[in-house]
């Protein structure tokens, strides 16, 4: 093979050349290397989409292959198992040789003699000898053919673990057609609007046109990333058949769970306990599950509640696995209003369920007692049972704390079975250090877990998001452990589902449109964005490496400009070039140590020091060594006490100083929405993500259901987007050099960071109807027949687009309408404040500290829905409501005064104003509080509304005719008094 030539990722052979003498490319979207023979086999099997990016293959290429396939033999020889093993081996040797050549050129002595040359040659000889001896042993120990037939795995084990189900063409084709038609109609509409100004209200007309242009731009950013939505189906039974065979240890990959909490008084310990219990009771091998709870507030209440949780888990976990109950969070399992005897056949189930419910009620009493005692902090601080003071009495100045509750020798359930590992972690806090809030806590968990368990995959959850589907991790493994699909997957994102939301969902807390429409559209491009919780990560992706199968794109390749960037390559910043070079060195070192099996400690230390791992990952030899293990795991010879000391070291507040943590590694710093930034960096490196939507929701959480808390939550998200927009990671200009971020994916990320700026034109557009009604002017001239057709076509295209979107997504029209309403409510309140706060933070350095959103813990259903907490976020939408109501009354009174001819123009103005009022109606309903009584806030606003209306009434004098003063002067007779 030629050095650096593309290698087929299916059979390991050279991809070959096409008719033009260029390397054969099956997918022009991602340049996934596959040879023509394997490509023909994929077509024969009915798969006409790329294995990596799911983009459909070129139709011209398909036609050529179909014509040529008639004169060729089948692909049986290429799919032979032995041939495939040889190809894979050849691929590994080629990659190692390339890596070694780069290392050899850098790691030389002063006299020019390479250090690693002899070692590599001896390693190759050992490898060949070992392979020959193993082949000989296999031939001697080969069973007879009859026994081979019996020992073959089930047919399902060799089949794909997941499949892509595209949206049917009869649903997707009309949807795309209407989008294009709507784009054309928008162009004609803006041509009419710009060429027909309203001279009598030029300022209002100009404002409306600018706002409409921005709305159209926002629609393009939101619409086109949904161009290729897909669905996915997983096969958990095939996963079990392949990796879990009877009589053999499970080969499923280990998973480290991260649960983060800050303030136990705002995030009730009972909710966190239910999340932890649901993780410990997963339908997954217990030795493969480790749960790390991050207490970033160093609260003794969190620690004591976790002690109680670990004790209750010894009863709860065997009960869940014995009777296969769902969900496995006790609070939500016992509160289900369903027939709990359905599908249960064990006679002892009722008796044990009653006993378990009694135990859980006692557990709740103990947790509530701890909460009640923690309401008042003693003057001398908290003390532990042995009389020593609690190390975290000062939450801003305390040492790092780690406590392993479960998973060690002797920690078993009541039936004597092993339990998953449960670890309490509170990182060190000292004054003068930047701790980076949740992102810093997550990075601390990454390091601690790497030292103690080092699972190859990480699943992070908020403290209020419990596991609703016990097979959720298996669903994710169907993608991550697939040898073809999982190579380039950085994370698998699950949709967020919520409990405790009123049926009408007046504040769009469920975000159904985002999770069921936008995210499925992104899954057809490069993958969904990371939303902060319910996500399974590939640990190697968090370490800042690129995907192992990412091809090196040639300079002349058209796909190198897949981000809509010019062909001319812009020079890179020297710091960026240095970081890219260091990342390539780290990649080379990792591939090196993957292949060398019998390297000694001296070679390892030489390589680590040469590649300067400490400057990237920090000074911890144990952690650095864990990063070199692609499949995870901890050395069997490791001393537990030594590992705990090292784990304490890696969560010290000064560990990240002068490293790449938060810049290129782990959760990225620089925004309160670190989730968007972290996922964006991974996609820029060439990774892709996957959206997994099992029939039973994987995770469920609680959402702030009252108006004030919901607006503060939206404010935090919007401020994070503004911070990213003003940072160096802005998708408008970041990540063009590598050409690995697809242009539709870039549009989606641009949409996530510019949507708060829509608040400025939105609040102006919502004020225009009231201004038009009060002044008697309008932003649209008298309509001609052509203009009427354009307006009608625009409205119809908007409606048809929504209807077709509902058709392929399955979202209800009520969810779509609620989403539209809260887009206006949040836009004129939280998004507006986020824009100003973001610029204040950038220009004046004024940082906004956000309090944690309180989670509902009381048993009263929708108890917080009607609570009105006054906040400045309520002022802009309230003002818009009042002004538009006053405008409607003033407009009708003016029409009554002017007569019949005034009712025509009034219709358009009133329709426009009612559009604003209908969108703000849930906000008005939230201000009114509980429906069965009239709160004081309604009386106050009624008085204010009456006062404002009276002042406007006096000013416009609606029932008095306007009389010319000169005419009055001529007709009046002066009277000398």
**pLDDT, tens digit, 9 for 90 and up, residues 743-776:** 999 999 999 999 999 999 999 999 888 888 888 8
CA distance linking residue 470 with residue 389, whole number of Å = 39
**pLDDT value for 690:** 95
User: What CATH number is attached to the domain comprising 16?
Assistant: 3.30.40.10
Domain end residue (candidates: 66, 94, 114): 66
CA distance linking residue 526 with residue 520, whole number of Å = 11
Annotated binding site for Mn(2+): 438, 462
Q: What is the SS3 assignment for 838?
A: helix
Domain end residue (candidates: 703, 737, 769): 703
Classify residue 492 as left (phi > 0), alpha (psi -120 to 50) or beta: beta
**pLDDT value for 317:** 92
Residue 277 lies in a domain: yes
Q: What is the SS3 assignment for 958?
A: coil
Residue 866, CA distances (Å) to 390, 817, 932, 938 in order? 39, 21, 11, 13
Work out the average pLDDT over 657-678. 89
Stated pTM of the model: 0.75
Work out the average pLDDT over 609-613. 58
Of 677 and 147, the one with more pLDDT: 677
Residues in Cβ contact with 674 at an 8 Å cutoff, skipping those fewer than 6 apart: 438, 439, 442, 532, 667, 668, 720
Helix (H) or strand (E) holding 259: strand 255-261
Residue 455 · residue 287 · CB < 8 Å: no
Residue 682 · residue 843 · CB < 8 Å: no
Work out the average pLDDT over 832-850. 77
Reported as a pLDDT band with limits 50, 70 and 90, residue 379 is confident
> Alpha helix locations (H) across 512-636?
512-513, 519-523, 539-542, 574-595, 601-611, 613-617, 621-627
Annotated binding site for UDP-alpha-D-glucose: 260, 266-267, 296, 437
Residue 612 lies in a domain: no
**pLDDT value for 100:** 29
Structure tokens at 375: 């309401």
Lowest-confidence pick of 63-72, 288-297, 559-568: 559-568
User: What CATH number is attached to the domain comprising 379?
Assistant: 3.90.550.10
Q: Is the pLDDT of residue 159 over 90?
A: no
Give CA 402 to chain center in angstroms: 28
Residue 501 lies in a domain: yes
- For 444-577, list the strands marked E by DSSP: 457-462, 466-467, 489-493, 497-499, 535-538
**pLDDT value for 866:** 52
Structure tokens at 729: 């990671």
CA distance linking residue 333 with residue 467, whole number of Å = 11
Structure tokens at 257: 């769970």
Structure tokens at 407: 């998973």
Classify residue 661 as left (phi > 0), alpha (psi -120 to 50) or beta: beta
Residue 581 lies in a domain: no
- Which strands sit side by side in the sheet containing 497-499, from one edge to the other? 466-467, 699-702, 497-499
Helix (H) or strand (E) holding 275: helix 269-280
CA distance linking residue 104 with residue 114, whole number of Å = 6
Of 594, 673, 583, which Cα lies nearest the Cα of 632?
Answer: 594
Residue 715 · residue 833 · CB < 8 Å: yes
Structure tokens at 757: 């700026």
Dump the DSSP string for 222-251.
HHGGGSS-EEEEE-HHHHHHHH--TTS---
CA distance linking residue 858 with residue 864, whole number of Å = 9
Of these residues, 296, 482, 709, 815, which one is catalytic? Answer: 296
**pLDDT value for 198:** 85
224-250 pLDDT tens trace? 999 999 999 999 999 998 898 888 888
**pLDDT value for 953:** 52
Residue 583 lies in a domain: no
Q: Is the pLDDT of residue 550 over 50?
A: yes
Residue 13 lies in a domain: yes
Asked if 283 is an active-site residue, the reply is no
Residue 634, CA distances (Å) to 623, 627, 629 in order? 10, 11, 9
Residue 300 lies in a domain: yes
Strand partners, 665: 661
Domain end residue (candidates: 9, 42, 66): 66
CA atoms in the 13 A half-sphere facing the CB of 923? 30
Q: Is the pLDDT of residue 706 over 80?
A: no
Residue 844, CA distances (Å) to 318, 433, 437, 728, 734 in order? 56, 21, 21, 18, 24
CA distance linking residue 293 with residue 401, whole number of Å = 11
CA distance linking residue 404 with residue 417, whole number of Å = 18
CA distance linking residue 690 with residue 677, whole number of Å = 17
Lowest-confidence pick of 419-428, 454-463, 908-917: 908-917
Q: Is the pLDDT of residue 94 over 60?
A: no
Lowest-confidence pick of 107-116, 313-322, 511-520: 107-116
Lowest-confidence pick of 501-505, 629-633, 664-668, 952-956: 952-956
Find the domain containing 13 and state its range: 1-66
User: What contacts 24+ positions apart, CB below 8 Å, involve 843-848?
Assistant: 848/719
615-642 pLDDT tens trace? 888 888 888 888 888 787 877 667 777 8
Domain count, the chain: 2
Work out the average pLDDT over 855-861. 49
**pLDDT value for 269:** 92
Of 674, 675, 658, which Cα lies nearest the Cα of 616?
Answer: 658
Structure tokens at 410: 């002797």
Residue 137 lies in a domain: no
Residue 828 · residue 762 · CB < 8 Å: yes
Asked if 397 is an active-site residue, the reply is no
Work out the average pLDDT over 363-374. 91
Of these residues, 295, 464, 523, 675, which one is catalytic? Answer: 675
The structure tokens 């007692």 sit at 369
**pLDDT value for 157:** 60
Helix (H) or strand (E) holding 165: strand 162-166
């Amino acid at each position: 093979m030629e050095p650096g030539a593309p290698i087929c990722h299916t059979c390991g052979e050279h991809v070959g050349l096409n008719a033009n003498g260029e390397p054969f490319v099956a997918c022009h979207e991602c340049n996934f290397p596959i040879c023509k023979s394997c490509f023909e086999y994929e077509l024969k099997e009915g798969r006409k989409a790329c294995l990596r990016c799911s983009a459909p293959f070129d139709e011209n290429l398909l036609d050529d292959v179909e014509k040529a396939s008639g004169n060729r033999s089948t692909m049986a020889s290429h799919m032979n198992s032995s041939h495939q093993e040889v190809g894979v081996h050849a691929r590994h040797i080629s990659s190692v040789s390339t890596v070694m050549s780069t290392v050899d050129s850098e790691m030389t002595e002063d006299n020019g003699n390479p250090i690693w040359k002899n070692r590599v040659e001896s390693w190759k000889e050992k490898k060949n000898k070992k392979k020959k001896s193993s082949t000989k042993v296999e031939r001697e120990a080969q069973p007879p053919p009859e026994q081979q037939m019996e020992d073959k795995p089930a047919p399902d084990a060799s089949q794909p673990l997941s499949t892509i189900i595209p949206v049917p063409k009869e649903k997707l084709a009309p949807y795309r057609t209407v989008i294009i038609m709507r784009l054309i109609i928008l162009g004609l509409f803006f041509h009419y609007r710009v060429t027909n100004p309203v001279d009598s209200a030029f300022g209002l007309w100009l404002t409306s046109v600018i706002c409409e242009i921005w709305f159209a731009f926002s629609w393009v950013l939101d619409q086109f990333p949904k161009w290729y939505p897909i669905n996915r189906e997983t096969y958990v039974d095939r996963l079990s058949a392949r990796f879990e065979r009877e009589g053999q240890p499970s080969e499923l990959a280990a998973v480290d769970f991260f649960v983060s909490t800050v303030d136990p008084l705002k995030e009730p310990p009972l909710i966190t306990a239910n999340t932890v219990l649901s993780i410990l009771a997963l339908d997954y091998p217990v030795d493969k599950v480790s749960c790390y709870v991050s207490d970033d507030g160093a609260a003794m209440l969190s620690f004591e509640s976790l002690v109680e949780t670990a004790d209750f888990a010894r009863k709860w976990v065997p009960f869940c696995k014995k009777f296969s109950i769902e969900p496995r969070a006790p609070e939500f399992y016992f509160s289900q209003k369903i027939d709990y005897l359905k599908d249960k056949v064990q006679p002892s189930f009722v008796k044990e369920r009653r006993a378990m419910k009694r135990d859980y009620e006692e557990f709740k009493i103990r947790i509530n007692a701890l909460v009640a005692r923690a309401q008042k902090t003693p003057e001398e601080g908290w003390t532990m049972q042995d009389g020593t003071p609690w190390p975290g009495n000062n939450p801003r100045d305390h040492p790092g704390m780690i406590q392993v509750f479960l998973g060690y020798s002797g920690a078993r359930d009541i039936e004597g079975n092993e339990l998953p590992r449960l670890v309490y972690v509170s990182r060190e806090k000292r004054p003068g250090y930047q701790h980076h809030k949740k992102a810093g806590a997550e990075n601390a968990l990454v390091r601690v877990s790497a030292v103690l368990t080092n699972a190859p995959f990480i699943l992070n959850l908020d403290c209020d998001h419990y596991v609703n589907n016990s097979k959720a991790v298996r669903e994710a493994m169907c993608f991550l452990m697939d040898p073809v699909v999982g190579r380039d997957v950085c994370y698998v994102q699950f949709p967020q589902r919520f409990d405790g939301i009123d049926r009408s969902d007046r504040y769009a807390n469920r975000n159904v449109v985002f999770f069921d429409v936008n995210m499925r559209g992104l899954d057809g491009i490069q993958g969904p964005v990371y939303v902060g919780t319910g996500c399974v990560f590939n640990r190697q992706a968090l370490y800042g490496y690129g995907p192992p199968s990412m091809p090196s794109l040639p300079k002349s390749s058209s796909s190198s400009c897949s981000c809509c960037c010019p062909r001319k390559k812009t020079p890179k910043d020297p710091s960026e070039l240095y970081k890219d070079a260091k990342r390539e060195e780290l990649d080379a070192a990792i591939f090196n140590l993957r292949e060398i099996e019998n390297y000694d400690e001296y070679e390892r230390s030489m390589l680590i020091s040469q590649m300067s791992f400490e400057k990237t990952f920090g000074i911890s030899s144990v952690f650095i060594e864990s990063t070199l293990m692609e499949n995870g795991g901890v050395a069997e010879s490791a001393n537990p006490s030594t590992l705990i000391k090292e784990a304490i070291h890696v969560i010290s507040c000064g560990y990240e100083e002068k490293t790449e943590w938060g810049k290129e590694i782990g959760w990225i710093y620089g925004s309160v929405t670190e989730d968007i930034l972290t996922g964006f960096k991974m996609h820029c490196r060439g990774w892709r993500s996957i959206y997994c939507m099992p029939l039973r929701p994987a995770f469920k959480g609680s959402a702030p259901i009252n108006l004030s808390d919901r607006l503060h939550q939206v404010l935090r998200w919007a401020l994070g987007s503004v911070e990213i927009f003003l940072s160096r990671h802005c998708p408008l200009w970041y990540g063009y050099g590598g050409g690995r971020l697809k242009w539709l994916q870039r549009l989606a990320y641009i949409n996530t960071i510019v949507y708060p700026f829509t608040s400025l034109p939105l609040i102006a557009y919502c004020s225009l109807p009231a201004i038009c009604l009060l002044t008697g002017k309008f932003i649209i001239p008298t309509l001609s027949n052509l203009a009427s057709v354009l307006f009608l076509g625009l409205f119809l295209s908007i409606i048809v687009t929504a209807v077709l979107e509902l058709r392929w997504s399955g979202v209800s029209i009520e969810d779509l309408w609620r989403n539209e309403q809260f887009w206006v409510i949040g836009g004129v309140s939280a998004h507006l404040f986020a824009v100003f706060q973001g610029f204040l933070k950038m220009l004046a350095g004024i940082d906004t500290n956000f309090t944690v959103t309180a989670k509902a813990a009381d048993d009263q259903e929708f108890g917080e829905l009607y609570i009105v907490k006054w906040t400045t976020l309520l002022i802009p939408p309230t003002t818009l409501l009042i002004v538009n109501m006053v405008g409607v009354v003033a407009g009708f009174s003016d029409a009554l005064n002017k007569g019949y001819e005034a009712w025509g123009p009034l219709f358009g103005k009133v329709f426009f104003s009612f559009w604003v009022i209908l969108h703000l109606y849930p906000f008005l309903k939230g201000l009114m509080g509980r429906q069965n009584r009239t709160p004081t806030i309604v009386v106050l606003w009624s008085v204010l509304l009456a006062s404002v209306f009276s002042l406007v009434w006096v000013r416009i004098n609606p029932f008095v005719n306007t009389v010319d003063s000169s005419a009055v002067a001529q007709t009046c007779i002066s009277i000398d008094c």
